[in-house]
Amino acid sequence: MENPVVLLSALLALLAGLAIGKAWERYKLRDGRWVDRRRARDSPHYMLGLNFLVANQIDPAIEELVKAAHSAGDPLEIHMILGNLYREKGQVGRAIQEHQALLQRSDLRKLEHANVVLCLGLDYKRGGFVDRALEAFTEVLRLDPENQYALSNLEKLYEEQHQWAEAYATRQKLAARRDQMTPVRHHETLAYLENELGMEALKRRDYAEAARRFGAAIDLDSSNAPAYLNLGDVRYYQGDVEGAIADWERLIDQSPERAYLAFSRLDGAYTKVGGAPRFAELCRKLIAANTQDWRARLALARHLSSRGGAAEALELLFDAIELNPHALVIHQAIWQTLSSLHLPPGLVNRYVDLTRDSIFYLDPHICVRCRYRSTELLWQCPHCHEWNTFTEERIAPAKDTESTLTS
Ligand SMILES: [Zn+2]
């Protein structure tokens, strides 16, 4: 429970509560008596509670805040924070109870009402009650149309449900608000959402709509890699191979570091239009432009290997392994190439020499608390200073064939 995420959300909950409190007047008439809102903050329990919260000790924080609420005439803000803390602890039912009880108060103002419903929406979301969460955030926006938290939570929920059009509309509302976020960041997100809408059209085989969506994604953000790949795929399915090639080459011009995503597509397409040497030219151009590019070397090596150029391929792979000794795909390609050459001892020895000094983690371990990595088992973590948190780190065998398709 005591992890950075919990701490962060607890602090956010606290800040939200404080912001609401600030916007609140000091005195308020309730149940026929004036309540001094400042009394809550003067209470030693309130300060103690906040201190525990900052130290990420949620249980004692709750205990103190309950006392503070009691001694200050049960102010709304403390109960909102308490509900949020129950939610952070995973006690969603209790959080919902706490927040729903606040809705029963007859003296809620519009903005207070909106904030309580927002908390409830977060409770429902945490509990997995998607429909009720959607309803709650929509209700918040009815009361407070520009509420940023409601909009961004709504967007994430729509995304989780793959309701891309709704997510898109919500992000547009977020972008229309005046905030610190630059338009570029909104366009980046909108481009990914356009791309998803295009993928849906592609699944329906509505190529015209798909191409329109992918084009719109590129117009929004010219660095959106999947849109270029998908736009090229649409043209390819429609039989326009040169058009597809042009789209994939545009991706490489825009983001050379993402070029490898288009390698297998381009290799096939060039061959199809009778221009096989174009692929080798492309890879050589990329290697010349970026001497660190091991992916272009790997792709060129595979391309040459399949055309009888195993010896040249092996040289490229030896360069590549020096650039990225951790990439298992290069080791595999080297062994495939070596065995196609019948394991000449000289070249096998060169491989052994090249990889001898590689900085592999000989016996990788990881701290389960803070993800610190170590090359051996440690009893105390040098990063988070916790005892006995190291566990053997193993990379699970890959299940899909994605890497062979895209590299
Ligand atoms: Zn650690």
Average the pLDDT over each of 131-135, 237-241, 395-399, 403-407 and give the range with the smallest value.
403-407
CA 379 to ligand 1 centroid distance, Å: 10
Task: Count CB-CB contacts under 10 A for residue 206.
Answer: 15
Task: List Cβ<8 Å contacts ≥24 apart for 164-172.
Answer: 164/193, 164/196, 164/197, 164/200, 165/197, 167/193, 168/193, 168/194, 168/197
- pLDDT at residue 29 is higher than 70: no
CA 373 to ligand 1 centroid distance, Å: 8
Which whole number is the average pLDDT over 261-273?
95
- Can you tell me which residue has the tokens 């005439």? 73
40 band by pLDDT with thresholds 50, 70 and 90: low
13 band by pLDDT with thresholds 50, 70 and 90: low
CA 364 to ligand 1 centroid distance, Å: 14
| pLDDT of 336 | 95
CA 383 to ligand 1 centroid distance, Å: 5
CA 372 to ligand 1 centroid distance, Å: 5
| Mean per-residue pLDDT of the chain | 86
CA 8 to ligand 1 centroid distance, Å: 18
CA 382 to ligand 1 centroid distance, Å: 7
CA 11 to ligand 1 centroid distance, Å: 22
Which whole number is the average pLDDT over 25-52?
66
Q: What is the pLDDT of residues 95-105, one digit of tens each?
A: 999 999 999 99
- pLDDT at residue 21 is higher than 60: no
- Are the C-beta atoms of residues 300 and 287 closer than 8 Å to each other? yes
Helix boundaries (H) for 177-293: 183-203, 207-220, 225-237, 241-254, 263-272, 277-289
Which whole number is the average pLDDT over 67-86?
91
| Helix, strand, coil fractions of the chain, as percent rounded to 5 | 70, 5, 25
Amino acid of residue 137: F
CA 370 to ligand 1 centroid distance, Å: 4
- pLDDT at residue 231 is higher than 90: yes
- Can you tell me which residue has the tokens 């308490």? 82
Dihedral of alpha carbons 334, 339, 344, 349, sign: positive
Give the C-alpha distances (Å, rounded to integers) separating 354 from 299, 324, 328, 335: 20, 11, 14, 14
- Are the C-beta atoms of residues 52 and 61 closer than 8 Å to each other? yes
Q: Between 359 and 125, where is the model more confident?
A: 125
- pLDDT at residue 405 is higher than 50: no
Average the pLDDT over each of 122-126, 159-163, 357-361 and give the range with the smallest value.
357-361
Average the pLDDT over each of 1-5, 252-256, 265-269, 353-357 and give the range with the smallest value.
1-5
Torsion of CA 305, 307, 310, 313, to 10 degrees: -60
Segment (H or E) for 29: strand 27-30
CA 359 to ligand 1 centroid distance, Å: 22
CA 327 to ligand 1 centroid distance, Å: 26
- pLDDT at residue 404 is higher than 50: no
CA 387 to ligand 1 centroid distance, Å: 9
| pLDDT of 401 | 45
- Are the C-beta atoms of residues 240 and 381 closer than 8 Å to each other? no
Tell which residue, 148, 13, 147, has the closest CA to residue 88.
Answer: 13
CA 3 to ligand 1 centroid distance, Å: 11
- Are the C-beta atoms of residues 115 and 149 closer than 8 Å to each other? no
CA 1 to ligand 1 centroid distance, Å: 15
- Are the C-beta atoms of residues 245 and 266 closer than 8 Å to each other? yes
The phi, psi pair for 59, rounded to 5°, reads -60, -50
Amino acid of residue 402: E
Task: Count CB-CB contacts under 10 A for residue 19.
Answer: 12
215 band by pLDDT with thresholds 50, 70 and 90: very high
Which whole number is the average pLDDT over 101-116?
93
| pLDDT of 34 | 46
Q: What is the largest CA-CA distance in the chain?
A: 95
Average the pLDDT over each of 311-315, 343-347, 385-389, 401-405 and give the range with the smallest value.
401-405
